[in-house]
Chains A and B, each alone.
Chain A
């Protein structure tokens, strides 16, 4: 998958134990525009399980998951 995806908004949630990266992502997507890409940065090991699961359940699109040095970038497209 290309690492050149252009996010419309980057949410740096590294260091967020509470409320946590997924809650930051949901907060942004809820108020966001359909078709925009939101990229959340997370250091939380649980994000790799939770974020794709929520994205599937909420019927958005997981555009990409990119491992970086010490954190992961999750790019999500708002579909509805």
Chain B
């Protein structure tokens, strides 16, 4: 902590869901107690979940962007910088520009990034929909697809939004049905697990849908490598599948600018207490969202709920030198079951998903479809 006449400096790394919510909460609630700086390499917030719609429609991604300055509290200073190194002992962050910044409290919310080189053969061969450029490229590939095997799945673990590749597989079915091409297309889903999904009741639902739609489920398929010259993807478990179009969630990495192994593991996933969200090694560092090593879905909803807990804990630490807010593992995922139908999975560390969510309907679809507006105006403010 700094001297009594100087306010502590809270630095938030990352301008995605978690980082912006923490910035807004602290900007409002810690205005007289701390200086707050948000660091982001992007000048905009991007609403990623709608990319699954962009694969299948002809719309622009323009509405998925908002300038950071418009959604972040005016008391929060924004720095457009890219982090290249974090020194947790010296409490300093270095930027690519050559500048640096010191902090008293730090929130790491830089999310997940994609490193295609982590899976041999992935680069230049596999499609995905986890960023704008790739999603639009996949849209073109689908439009020109004339028939054959479409293989969907996951290139590596862990990955964001575990349900997304299943949703897209269902949506592919309906997309080709609309184009009257189902007889020319064979859909295959590669599951890393012994069923379609980790939650048994949801998995049963998905498996029934796979069967009904003629989508072939390949269980225990954890991608090892892709052989573009043979158009084959192989698994750690020793299987090979032929594809004509391959759609695999890309290999993810966390905060690779961290080389302190007490703070983050080799893949850059930050090691925090599962409830307090505080670093296990550095009490003045917190992490939220995709960049954490928590045993919970990497998703917007979890980043949202975690951001509220981390903000409360930092505020309490500044005010009273202690913290008491706990994250209960809350996650909420809306799952597209077709092009106009969805279900919802809502659970915590101790509570399994609510039964009501298992009934696919159009209401859940509309909630998911129109959530972006609510996200920019409501969720990011931290008031909800």
Contacts and interface: CB of A to CB of B under 8 A. Distances in A.
Contacts of A14: 349
Contact of B200 (A23, A46, A57): A46
Interface stretch (B86-94, B136-144, B190-198, B206-214): B190-198
Contact of B237 (A20, A46, A49, A58): A58
Nearest to A49: B194
A18 B198 CA distance: 6
Contacts of B236: 30, 58
A59 B236 CA distance: 10
Interface in B269-287: 274
B331 interface: yes
What range describes how many residues of A lie at the interface?
20 to 34
Interface in A5-27: 11-20, 22-24, 26-27
Contacts of A22: 192-194, 198
A16 B158 CA distance: 13
Nearest to B269: A27
A54 interface: yes
B347 interface: yes
B347 A23 contact: no
A30 B157 contact: yes
B199 A54 contact: no
B181 to A, nearest CB: 32
A33 B296 CA distance: 24
B220 interface: yes
Interface of A: 11-20, 22-24, 26-27, 30-31, 44-46, 49-50, 53-54, 57-59
Given A12-B295, A15-B296, A54-B194, 8 more contacts: A13-B295, A16-B296, A17-B347, A17-B352, A17-B353, A18-B162, A30-B222, A54-B193
